[in-house]
Each structure stands twice: as structure tokens, then as C-alpha cells.
Structure 1
Amino acid sequence: MSFTWSATFTIGQPAATAKGDKIILPQAALESIIHAHASAPPPPLIQPDSNYDPTSWAHPQFNPYEPTKAQELPSPLTFQIRNPANRLLTHGGVKEFSAADGQVHLPPWMMNSLALSPGDQVMVKYAALPKGTWAKFRPLSADYMEILDFRALLEARLRSNYTTLTRGEVLRVHQGTKEFEFVVEELKPEPGEAVCITDTDLEVDIEPLDTEMGDAANQYTSGIFNGQGSRKANVLKIGIESQGRVSPDAYQRWTVDIPNRKSGIDITVNVQEPGDLDVLVSTKLPVSLQDHLWANFESVGPRVITILESDQDYATQQDSQVIHIAVFGREPTTVVASGSSTSTASTSTGEVIYSIQAQYHNSSDFSTPISGSSSTSEAADVPNKDVPGYQECTNCGSWIPERTMMLHSNFSHRNNAKCNKCGIVMKKEDLPNHFHCDHCDKHGDISEKKKHMEIFHGWYQCSCESFESPALLELAEHRRTTCSDRFIICRYCHTLVQQGGLTSNARDRMRGLHSHESYCGDRTIQCQKCSQMVSLKDIQVHAQHHEYQRQNQVAPQLCSNQNCVRSKGATSNVLGLCQLCFGPYWISTEDPKNQKLVQRLARKYHAQLMTGCGNNWCRNQHCATFRGRQMDATSAATEMMSILKEARVGAIDGHKTWLCVDEGTTRKKVMAELLLEEVSGQYTIEWCVKALEAERTDLEAAAQWLQLQAPKVKKAAA
């Protein structure tokens, strides 16, 4: 049922939800919408088919006598938002009805799109939009090639934030700290001016770039630097040193293939002075100052990053053998000392020239700096320490022969100075350029101070707007773990999506799920075993429950006759035989000590051994027919006594009898043994018999039945 509703509102302050198209309306708007919906004329009655038969169930038709059900309010509510001053319009959904009377709150991007400011008038009109099936987007710049999977990114952005799409509007999406813009170029179904994208499968496509933008895209992928320093990665080979150049505030990227993950890796970058750079390493793209796993931010000496084979992020990477390296160039800083004052000046020297090498790490070499540490060991031996005839200088700490101590001491006090905080001895002219950080234990040349303060004591805000930190390393840790903008392969929909914030569901938090996987995992699927609808995130536990039930089934009890494969049945007898095998030994007279039963069984065994059953299909190993030779009475009696003991007449269990059976039972026994051999003894003979009965002696189908229904043989613990 369609209805009409429209109203004019004053623009309030921008809505806090800037990432979607949902607006905030006043409570009075909801009441007027409900009233307009209730007052709308009912839909026209459908004329019944002239051939309608109310008594037929073959082809049910419309029943004109059935009362019409009351129509519910459409969901979701979609609106056309128009600026009456310039006739610009767009569409959106509604988040809530909590605005002040006469006001509406729009997302900032929507206000900019419609050229609206707080206090302006805007017209909001209900619009019943068709469900969208296809959307084409046009990128506004060639840097969209940086996006790892733009279709997945767009689909995730639309699914989580948008209710509608309007042709011509600009969609802004984020990956990391960068924002990318796409224009909604085409929509389906026709006429495609606007569609609703809630509860529908929307196919996303990207319009190919035109010639001019195509050239820009080719530059992106061919290795030409842009303003941010993006470039196609160079290939680095293990053990081979390569040369590189990087401009200040730009990246040069390398990839190294490491097939042997059982050994760690050392990445060493030597910088040609003057020059400064940072080395960033990760197992996944992108790699930048804010997105990395390992980094070296030293300003002097070789930049060394050691990744041990025990590192979890390094050792557990299964999807790729490639390690990604980014070298970020920085402008060198020149220090000029004048008297007691110190001034710093940054001078650009063009590109930074460096060499880079990756090689397998020798785990026995503990002298190699790990993860960016380039300091020497403080435990190194001091030459001539405590050697007789040597004395320690009180100024520089060196051990000097006693006979030259006075000469050395005068020279040292005249030329050297000792820092009162760290105890490092340096030339007096270098002391003014020596600094100590007020926030941590860092000390060194004052040329390192600016970079140190920027990286470790600056202020960084993540693009998710929920995390702030003074340290770049903490920001990188957040972005690869708990950041809502972090890209993951969803374990349920198997697409590249943003993981979202922490879910409010306690069970999902224990599972390590964020908002997207928590929402995505709530979808249900039908269990193929029990036909029950189970949520995706519970399907593993549900399957384990079926597996537990399968493994704890009680095996069917077969007849104690080793040549019979029939079930023992609910009733039991003193021989543990099935009813058919026990029939010849049943007697109506009382036999409390089973003496008559033992005599009948002994006579049967003796006859089998002497003359046999005479059946050519017999497979009873204690039958003369199967053996092909008859025994004399004495030898038969001796063997009969040994197998008679295995019958355990009167015992509770452990019965074993050896009686001849009919041809059909023998054939089933042979097939059960063939099936047991085919499944390599993973299942017992009892379950093989049951599988053949269930699948009517089809060996292939019985093997599949065993895999789905029967418990496997439990291996004994070593």
C-alpha cells in the first residue's frame, strides 16, 4: 500500500553519524507518517479468476472471501531530501526520531551535497524506492588503484552505512588514513535514479577509467612516484644486496620471497650520508608509517630489523611467502653549534641513497640487533680493566698505565666532557649537541631529537576516530589488531571487509569476533545432518556435537558365531547366538547347568570336523568341507574340546562359536570383510555389517555411510 507524506524542516546541527545516509527526524514526524499511512486508501481488490475453485488444492487462487490483512508500515523508510532553494536532491533512510520539533539533522556530506547550512529549510518526502540490483561507480582519481579490493570495500561500506543510493552522488570510503571518492554512475533497476539497498543482493561494478585517467593509473602501477610516494614494489632476493633511492616524505617499496619460514630473517639498510630514512616491514599490504609489523626508526648507523623464526606474525603466515618492505625517506638535519647555544636547520639534499639486503638469520648469533636496536652491548669488556699496573681515569673511564695517568688525565679534562645523566664521554664541543629526552630514556645527538619526538612523543589519531596515541608504534599496533577500519577476510562471507568495532556480545568477544563477523555470523544455514537451522558462528560447535554423538554410539552386538553377521537381538542366551543360530540348540526340558546344551554343541562340532556340512560356500575354518579333508574321531574330539572352551557356556560375555551358516549369511560376511579392508580398518566389523544393511549391500555407498554415520576405531595411546 502506497501513501504520501512530506514536510519542511529547519536544518539543525550536523548529525553525529557522518558515515552514512541516515537522517534524524522529530517524534512528530513519525506520528504524521503513521497517520498518513493509516489514512491512505486500501489497495484495489484483486479480481478472482473465473475458474477459481475454493475446494481445489491443486492451484490455490485468490480467495475474495478472505478478509484483507492490515498493511504494516514499510521497512525501511526511505526519503527524498530536497533543497527547495536550488532543487538539489538526494535520498536517505532514517536513524531515529529524536530531533527537536521542526528540525532535522543531516550527515555533513549530505549538507555539503545539497549546499545546506544550519538554519536553512529542507523538504523531506517519503519515497518508496525499488530494491537495487546493480550499481556502477566511477572513481574521481586514479589513486583508487591503491585499494586492495575496491569491490569488497564498497560493498562493506554500503552494507553497514547506507540505506539508499542516488545517481550522481559522491560516495566517500576510507582505507587506512586515505579517503577515496566514487560517483554513483548507474543504477538498476530502471529508471535508476535512486534505489534502496537494504535486504538485497547488490552487484557492484567500477567504470573503466578514461584515457587521461588510464595514463595516471598506469603510472601508479609502473613505478612512478606520486605525491604520497606510492610505487610498484621492487623485488629483493635473499642474500643479494640491492641499491635504492627514495625522496624525502616518499616511500620506496620492496618485496622479498622467503620460502623457508623455519629460519628467521635479517633486513639491513645502509644509508649514504647525509641522509635519513625509516624501514617498515609487514607480512601484508599496505605498509606505511601507520601500518606495519616491524620498524626501525634509528637516525644513525645501519638500520637493522631482525625477525626471528619464533615470531608468531612471521611463522604463522600461511597465505603468502612474501614479506613487504617500505623505505620512507626523511630530510637530514644539520646541527650548527655556536658558543653555548644550539640551533637546528633542515636542509634538503634530494634523494636519499641507500643499500638494502635480506638474508637468513643465524639464531646462534645473539650479537645481531633485533627489531631496530642498533646500540652496542653494555656488557662489552673494557680493555685492561683491573689489570695490575693500570688505573681507571676518573673523567673518561678508560684504564690507563699508572705511569702515564697524570698526562692522560690532563689531556682528558682539557678535551673531553662527561654527561652527568648517562655517563657518556664525548668531546667538549659535542656536549652542547647532546640531548636527553624528558619523556623516556632516549639520548643521543640533538639532530635525532626532532624525529624522536615526532615518532614517540607526538600525537596521532586513527582514521577510526576511536584511538589516539602519542607513539606511532602504538598506533600501528592498534591498526593491525583492534581498529574498526582494519581489513580482514571474513570467516563467514569470505570477503575483504572492515572488521568494525568491538561487538557488545560477550560470547562473540570470547570468540575474537568484531562487529562485522558478529553480525555476519548470525546468518543461519541448514544442517545437512539434522536439518536444523544453525547460525554460521555456531555451526562448528553444532558439528562437533554431531561428531560427539557419532563417536559415542554403541556398536551393534553381532552373533557370537564367527561365521554369522546377524544381530544378537534384544534377547540373550547362554551362547550369545542370534535366534536363528540358537534355534537347533533350544530344548524344552529344564537344563539348569547347561549340560544338555553343551552335549548338543559338542556333537555338532564333532560332526563338522569329521564329515563337514557339505556346502561348497562354507567358510567355517572348523569344518571339514571348508578344509577339504575329513578327520578321524579321535583327532576331531581333541580339536572339538579346544573350541568348545571358547563358547564359554553360561558366561556373561566373551562367547565364540564356530558354526556353519547358509549361503546368504556367508556372502554378507565376505562383503563385510571386503568393506573392512577397503576402509583400512578405521571402523569395526559390526559397523561394516550395519552399513551394508543400510545401503543394501552397495559397497561404495556403504563406505560413504561409514564416513558419515559410524564412529572410528579409537587408537590406543602410545
Structure 2
Amino acid sequence: MSFAWSATFTVGQPADTAKGDKIILPQAALESIIHAHASAPPPPPIQPDPNYDPTSWAQPQFNPYDTTKPQELPSPLTFQIRNPANRLLTHGGVKEFSAADGQVHLPPWMMASLALGLGDQVMIKYAALSKGTWAKFRPLSADYMEILDFRALLEARLRSNYTTLTRGEILKVHQGTKEFGFVVEELKPEPGEAVCITDTDLEVDIELLDTEMGGAINHSTSGILNEQGSRKDNILKIGVESHGRVSPEAYQRWTVDIPNRKSGIDIIVHVQEPGDLDVLVSTKLPVSLQDHLWADFESVGPRAITIPESDQDYTTQQNSQIIHIAVFGREPTVAASGSSTSTASNFDGGAIYSIQVQYHDSSDSPIPPSGLSSLTSESADVPNKDGPGYQECTNCGAWIPERTMMLHSNFCHRNNAKCNKCGLVMKKEDLPNHFHCDHCDKHGDVLEKKKHMEIFHGWYQCSCESFESPALPELAKHRRTTCSERFIICRYCHTLVQQGGPTSNARDRMRGLHSHESYCGDRTIQCQKCSQMVSLKDVQVHAQNHEYQRQNQVTPQLCSNQNCVRSKGATSNVLGLCQLCFGPYWIPTEDPKNQKLVQRLARKYHSQLMSGCGNNWCRNQHCATSRGRQMDATSAATEMMSILKEARVGAVDGHKTWLCVDEGTTRKKVMAELLLEEVRGQYTIEWCVKALEAERTDLEAAAQWLQLQAPKVKKSAV
């Protein structure tokens, strides 16, 4: 039932529904809408079918005499929103009725589209919109090609936030941190000025840009953004050394293609002193101090990162073979040659470095950790250790000839000092500049302390405001795993979205779903097998239930006659034959020990073996016609006795008989054997017969029926 309602409101503060088209109206608006709906004249009565007989058992498609049922308020409510000053208009739904009297709250994009400001007058009118079936969008810029799946992204945005679409309005969507704009170009059904998109299957189409612009897209997006926002290609090749220069507090980015994931990689960066930098590595963008998988924050020696082939983040990377590397420049903390007595005042503001990526050879000795002295790194193989005529110095630990030990000991104690904590030997003047971290095992030059404390013992809070950590690597781990702002490809809507916080649903937590996928997975689709509506996140379990039911079906019981393919049926007999095959052997007289039945079956077998059935289509291996030769009475009797035992007359199961059948049954048997050969024995002959019956002897259709309906043969355990 259609009704008329309109009112004028004052524009209040923008609504928090910035991502959709839903407005907030006052409570009085709802009351007036209900009153207008109740006061609207009822629809005209539908004329009954003149051919309808009310005394018959047939039911009409509608009851034209039922006028007692009240008409419900339309859902969803859709409105036309118009600026009376410039006659601009759009459409939208309603979120709630909680605004102050006389006010309406509109999304910011809607206020901008209608050129409305705070305190302006806006007209809201109820509009009954038809359900949309098709929408065509035109991108505002060429970078829409960066979207992984723009149709899925548009459909997800519309489904989650919009009630209506108006031709000419601009729809803005986000992938990651980037925003893309699309103009609503066309709508169906006609006239297509505006449609409702709730509870309808809306097909989305894109008006592609011209070829020249498309070529420009591919060219412009092939590089990497540098600090100034321009495109710059920093491409590394495996085994080739490259050079760079990075300013303090700035990033320089590199990419390297790693097609062979069966081998790990080594990333080695040599820095010219007194420069200092950090190396950050990830399998996807962005790469920064807060977003990375692997990093080296040392200040002394080469920066070396080894990623083994066993690393899950490295080996399971999908959709790309690119490794992203970011070099972050820092103010120098250690002066040239590692001497703390000199300064880096002559530093010209940029760290010069060389970078190389190579496949990791597990047979090579591992790269020594940065910041350790040569004495420490070679302590496992001290020259002349325990050699004859050598003695260990108690101060520096070196093995010195005994004849010169006194001279060495005097010189060593006068000039060298040994750290009591780590055993590192250094000059006495350098000992005051040697530090040990109070929170971890880190030690080195005191000029490294500031950077170490900042990175590993500072205080970092994630922008999601739900995680704090003193260590930058822990923050990076949080941002790539549990952070609500982490971008993921949703497994249900296939768009790049923020995963959201932990879901409140315990089952979804066990599935590894966060809030977005938990909400998105609640959407339902219809099962093609049982027509039941199933939520997306339960589709796999629902399919497994169908598979379990399929595999545990009871196998159809065929006639024990090896040449017959008819079902045994509900009734059973002592030979396990179908009713048609058992008919010639049934007699009305009592035969408690089945003696007469065995005699009739023996006579039938003997006749088949001696003279045959005479039918040229016969394929009974115990029939003279099928064999093409007749047997004498004695030979026939001997073979008859052997196959008569297989009948197992009177037994519960295990019957096997060999009787001739009609031409149609023989043809079905041949087709069942052909189908069994085609499916390579994955299904039993009983299910092949059932498939042919279901598909009316169509072999190709029967093979598809088996794949969908029949249980496969279970392989016996060895």
C-alpha cells in the first residue's frame, strides 16, 4: 500500500553514518509516518477470477475477500532528500529515529552533495522505490585498476552501508588506506533514477576507461613511492649488489623477486661509517618500523637478515613472489672505526650503503651476529690453544709463548681491560664506554645504548589503542597478527578490509575469525542440494554433512542373478532373486526343505548348458548359446553341480545364480559395465545401475550423477 508523507527539517550535526546513506530522523517523524500510513486509503479490491468456483477444492492464488489483515509499514523505509534552495536531490534510508525535534542528521557526503550546511532547511519525502536489479558505475580516476576485485568491493560496500542508489551520485569505497570514487551511471529497472538495493540481487557493472588511459595506469603503477611521493623503481636482482643513500628519519625502499621459495635468502647491507640505518623486510606493503616481518636494528657491522626456507611467512606467501625491503636512516650513533673517542660531527646527513640479496646456502657458515669483536667470534678456535710451550694470559685469554709471557702480561695488564660480565677484552680507555643492558643480554659501545633502549625498551602504543609494548618488534608482530587495523582479504567478500577486533562469538574465535569476517560470514546462501539457507562460514561444514550422508548411504541390493540388473526389492526369497527372475521357480505347494526348488533350478542349469536359450543377445557365461557350443549331458551335469552350489539355496545371503535374461536387461547390464569401466571402479556396479536408471541410460549424465550422489568405494587399509 502506497502513502504520502513529507516534512521539512533543519540540518543538524553530521551523522556518524559517513560510510552509508542512512539518515537520523526525530521520533515525531516516525509517529507522523505511522499516522500517514494508517490514514492512507486501502488499495482497490482485486477482482476475483470469474472462472473461480468457491465450492471446489482448488485454491486461488489470492483471497480477494480477505480485507481484515492490516497492511504493515513498508520495510525498508526509503526517502527522497531534497535541498529546496537549489533543487538538488538524492535518496537514502533511515538508521534510527533519535534526532531532536525538527532536526535531521545527514551523512557528511550527502550534505556536500546537496550543498547543505548546519541550520539549512532540507525536505524529506517518503519515496517507494522499486528493487534494483542492475547498476553501472563509472570510475572517477584511472587508479581504480589497483583494486583487487572492484565488483566484490562495490557489492560489499553497498550491502553493508547503503539502502538506495541514485543516478549521478558518487560512491566512495576504500581498499586499504586508499579511497576510490565511482559515479552511479545507470540503474535498472527503468526509469532508473533511484532504486532500493535491500533484499535484492543487484548485478554490478563497470564502465571501463579507454585504452590510452589504461596504458597510463600500468605504466604509472609499476614503480615504488619514495619519500616525496613520486614513483621510483628500486629493483634488486638476486646475487647483484646495489648501492643507495638514505637520509635520517627517511625510508628508501627496494623490491626483489624471489621465484625459488625452496631455498632461503640472505639480505646483507654494508654501511659506510659513521652512517647508521635499520633494515626492515616484509612480504607485503607497507614496510616500516611498525609494519615488518624481519628486521635488523644493529648499529655496528653489516646488517644481515637470513630468512630460511622453513619460515612459514616466507614459504606460504601467496599471489606474489616479491619481497619488500625498507632501509630506514638514522643519525649516526657510533663513530668511524668504532672509536667512542671521536665524533660524527662531519656526518653529511645521509647513510651510504650497499645491499645484496642472495640465496642462502645451508652448507655455508652462518653470518656472525653484528656488534661482536673478532676475539669473541673466534673464541671457539683460539690459536695455539693448549699447545706445547704456550700459556694462557689471565687477562686477555690469548695463548702466549711461555718465554714471553712476562713481557706480554705486563703490557696487557697496563693497557687492556676485561669486562667482568661478558669477558670482552678492550683498551682501558674504552672500558667506561662499554655498556650492558639492564633488561636483556645486549652489550656494546655506550653510543649504541640510546638506540637500543629506544627500540627494545621504550614504550609503543598501537594506533588501534588496544596494545602497548616496550619493544618495537613486538608492536610489529601485533600489527601483522591480532591488530584490529590489520588489512586482510576477507575470505567471504574477497575485499581488502580491516580485520577488526576479536569477535565475541566463541565458535568464530576457534575458526580464527575476527569481527569483520565473523559479521561477513553470517550472510546466507542457498544450498544447491537441499535448498536450505546456510551461512557462508558454515558452508564447508554443511558440505561435509552432505558428503558424510552420501558416503554412508545403503547400497542398493541387486538381483542375485549375475546377468540381471533389477533391484531385489523389499520381498526376499531363498535365492535372492528379483520377482521377475524368481517367477518361473515359484510354486503354490509347500516346499519346506527347498528340494523341489533345487530340482527346478538344476533342470534349468542343465538345459542352458546343453542346448542354450537360443537368444543371440545372451551374455550368460553358463549358457551354450552365449558360448557358441553345446555340452553333452555328463559334462553339463558336472558343471551344473558346481554352479548350483553358488546359489546357496536357503542361506541368508551370498547367493549367486546364472540365468538368462531378456534383451533389455542384457543391454542395461552392458551399459552398467561400461559405466563402471569409465569411472575406473570408483563406484560399485549397484550404484552404476542406479545412476543409469536416474539418468535414463545417458552414460555422460550418469557419470555426473555418480560424482554428486553416489558414495565412492572405500579403499581397504593395507
TM-score, structure 1 as length reference: 0.80
Q: Which residue of 2 aligns with 1:35?
A: 31
| Aligned-pair Cα RMSD in Å | 5.0
Distance 2:232 2:310 in 1: 30
Matches within 5 A, 1:126-137: none
Q: Which residue of 2 aligns with 1:498?
A: 498
Moved more, 457-466 or 655-664: 457-466
Equivalent position of 1:276 in the other structure: 276
Task: Pick which of 493-502 and 241-250 moved more.
Answer: 241-250
Q: What amino acid does structure 2 have at the position aligned with 1:537?
A: K
Aligned to 1:555: 555
In 2, Cα distance between equivalents of 1:162 and 1:20: 8
Structure-1 residue corresponding to 2:288: 288
Task: Give the drift of 1:407.
Answer: 1.9
| 1:367 match | 366
Asked whether the equivalents of residues 5 and 36 of structure 1 are also in contact (C-alpha less than 8 Å), the reply is: no
CA drift at 1:383: 3.3
Q: Distance in 1 between matches of 2:416 and 2:82?
A: 76
Which segment is superposed worse, 581-590 or 570-579?
Answer: 581-590
Question: After superposition, where does 1:17-416 map in structure 2 within 5 Å?
Answer: 30-40=26-36, 42-43=39-40, 52-53=47-48, 55=50, 66=67, 69-72=70-73, 75=76, 175=176, 221=221, 223=223, 226-227=226-227, 231-333=231-333, 335=335, 347-350=347-350, 352-359=352-359, 361-365=360-364, 367-368=366-367, 380-387=380-387, 389-416=389-416
Partner AA of 2:268 in structure 1: T
Aligned to 2:516: 516
Q: Does the 8 Å contact 1:229/1:251 carry over to 2?
A: no
- SS for the counterpart of 2:481 is coil
SS in 2 for 1:400: strand
CA distance 1:526–1:94, change in 2 (3 Å): closer
Q: In the aligned structure 2, how far is the partner of 1:184 from the partner of 1:656?
A: 72
Query: CA 1:137/1:652 → structure 2, altered by over 3 Å: closer, same or farther?
Result: closer
Confirm or deny: 8 A CA contact 1:187 1:194 kept in the other structure.
no
How far has the Cα of 1:109 moved from its partner?
10
Identity across matched positions, percent: 73
1:469 aligns with 2:464: no
Q: Do residues 564 (structure 1) and 564 (structure 2) align?
A: yes
In the aligned structure 1, how far is the partner of 2:111 from the partner of 2:309?
Answer: 53
TM-score (normalizing by structure 2) = 0.80
CA gap of 1:420–1:535, structure 2 versus 1, over 3 A, is same
Q: Which residue of 2 aligns with 1:578?
A: 578
Following the alignment from structure 1 to structure 2, what is the Cα–Cα distance between the partners of residues 438 and 653?
A: 82
Measured in 1, the distance between the counterparts of 2:262 and 2:313 equals 13
CA contact (8 A) 1:679 1:703 kept: yes
Aligned residue number for residue 534 of structure 1: 534
Structure 2 residue matching 1:635: 3-state secondary structure:
helix
Aligned residues of 1:621 and 1:627 also touching (Cα < 8 A): yes
CA contact (8 A) 1:270 1:354 kept: yes
* Partner SS for 1:650: coil
Distance 1:373 1:588 in 2: 104
**Counterpart AA for 2:67:** E
Q: Does the aligned pair in 2 maintain the 1:392–1:400 contact within 8 Å? A: yes
Cα–Cα, structure 1 residues 547 and 512, in superposed 2: closer, same or farther, change >3 Å?
same
Change over 3 Å in CA distance of 1:616–1:112 after alignment to 2: closer
Please name the residue that 2:425 is paired with.
425
Deviation at 1:324, TM superposition (A): 2.8
Amino acid in the other structure paired with 1:37? I
SS in 2 for 1:329: strand
- Give the Cα separation in 2 of the matches to 1:685 and 1:409: 94
Name the stretch that deviates more: 271-280 or 216-225: 216-225
Residues 181 and 520 (structure 1), Cα distance of their counterparts in 2 relative to 1, 3 Å cut: closer
Take 2:548 and 2:342, find their aligned partners in 1: how far apart are those partners?
75
What is the alpha-carbon distance in structure 2 between the residues aligned to residue 102 and residue 422 of structure 1? 76
| Displacement of 1:537 | 1.4
Residue by residue over 1:401-453, the C-alpha shift from the partner in whole angstroms, topping out at 9 and shown as x without a partner, is: 33333322222233223334433222233334333334332222234334333
1:691 equivalent in alignment to 2:687 = no
Partners of 1:356 and 1:205 in 2: how far apart? 43
Conserved 8 A contact 2:6-2:126: no
Distance 1:588 1:191 in 2: 79
- Relative to structure 1, the CA distance from residue 321 to residue 350 in structure 2 (aligned partners, 3 Å threshold; closer, same or farther) is closer
SS at match of 1:480: helix
Partner SS state of residue 380, structure 2: coil
Deviations 1:487-535 (A, max 9, x none): 2222222233322222221111111112222222222111111111211
Greater Cα shift, 219-228 or 305-314: 219-228
Q: Which moved more, 1:541-550 or 1:244-253?
A: 244-253
**What SS does the corresponding residue of 1:512 show, helix, strand or coil?**
coil
Gapped regions of structure 1 (runs ≥ 5): none
**CA-to-partner distance for each residue in 1:317-370, whole Å, 9 max, x for gaps?**
343333333333334345599x999987694433523131221x2334463469
Q: Distance in 2 between matches of 1:134 and 1:30?
A: 34
Q: Which residue of 2 aligns with 1:616?
A: 616
Q: Is the 8 A contact 2:163 2:197 kept in 1?
A: yes
Q: Counterpart in 1 of 2:599?
A: 599
Please report how far the alpha carbon of residue 685 of structure 1 lies from its aligned counterpart in structure 2 after TM superposition. 0.8
1:665 aligns with 2:665: yes
2:434 paired residue number:
434
Cα pair 2:26 2:100 within 8 Å, conserved: no
Q: Give, in whole Å, the separation in 2 of the partners of 1:347 and 1:18.
A: 52
Shift of the alpha carbon at 1:603? 2.2
Distance 1:115 1:348 in 2: 52
Task: Give the SS at the match of 1:614.
Answer: coil
Change (3 A) 1:125 1:526: same
3-state DSSP of counterpart to 2:381 = coil
- Counterparts of 1:259 and 1:604 in 2: how far apart (Å)? 73
Report the secondary structure of 1:380's partner residue.
helix
Amino acid at match of 1:66: T
Q: State the distance in 1 between where 2:582 and 2:65 align.
A: 70
What is aligned with 2:55? Answer: none
**Against the structure 1 CA distance between its residues 518 and 424, is the aligned structure 2 distance closer, same or farther, given a 3 Å change threshold?**
same
